[in-house]
């Protein structure tokens, strides 16, 4: 939707260290197809874990189904970016 730069700017307002895995342009969950064809998600995120910086504690996304796939293939608990905004504005 062309909002990646805006979301990155938002994350940078809330954190001093924002890491965006460059190999991930889409989680491959394809709406809900990741539930029935998990190979799509697995293929799209095959390099994700290698791109996560050591010591990363928090991970955020903009879609619930993306969060499911990203969590499964990263070892991190991905949450909605709104959790980051809420935490940062308390």
- Average pLDDT by stretches of 10, the chain with 90 residues: 82 91 86 90 93 92 91 94 92
Task: Please state the domain extents for the chain.
Answer: 57-90
Check the CA dihedral 42-65-52-75 and report its sign.
negative
Tokens 């499911």 label which residue?
68
Q: How many other C-beta atoms are found inside a 10 Å radius of the C-beta of residue 63?
A: 15
Interior CA angle at 49 toward 48 and 54, to 5°?
125
- Single pTM value for the model: 0.86
The Cα 14–Cα 21 span in angstroms is 18
3-class secondary-structure state, position 54: coil
pLDDT of residue 72: 93
């Amino acid at each position: 939707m062309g909002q990646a730069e805006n979301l990155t700017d938002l994350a940078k307002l809330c954190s001093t260290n924002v890491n965006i895995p460059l190999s991930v342009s889409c989680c491959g969950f394809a709406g809900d197809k990741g539930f029935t064809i998990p190979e799509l998600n697995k293929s799209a995120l095959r390099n994700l874990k290698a791109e996560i910086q050591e010591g990363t504690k928090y991970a955020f996304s903009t879609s619930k189904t993306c969060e499911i796939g990203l969590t499964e293939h990263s070892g991190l608990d991905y949450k909605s970016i709104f959790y980051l905004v809420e935490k940062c504005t308390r």
